[in-house]
Structure 1
Amino acid sequence: MPKGDALRKAVRWIGERRLDEPDTPPYRLIDEASRRFDLSPKDGEFLQRNFADRSPPKH
């Protein structure tokens, strides 16, 4: 589990967006989350490693 409240919120937000908008490229969601939650470069790298190449979750 990621450390830091902002990073946890970003992970949750990306997960929700991927369910609602499965056609949106992960890199766009990661970029938006990084800005929206004012994440550090290290946190952005965490998101890249964990979300960039994954398929959206199935309902």
Structure 2
Amino acid sequence: MSCAVRDLELPSEPGIAYVAGEERTVQAVRAHLVRDRGWPRASVLVKPFWTPGKRGME
């Protein structure tokens, strides 16, 4: 995961995070926000749009 996400200044109270992108990346961002930042899992919504080596995400 990018240092940009780890270094991001977030509000003191969790809000809602919408994360879209490559499957492993959005999972890593969600894990960071939940595990390291203490956000409720239900507050981090992810939408993977692609996975290397797979065609379509339907």
If the length of structure 2 is used for normalisation, what is the TM-score?
A: 0.37
Q: If each structure's helix is expressed as a fraction of its own residues, which one has the higher value?
A: 1
Q: If each structure's strand is expressed as a fraction of its own residues, which one has the higher value?
A: 2
Structure with bigger gyration radius = 2
If the length of structure 1 is used for normalisation, what is the TM-score?
A: 0.36
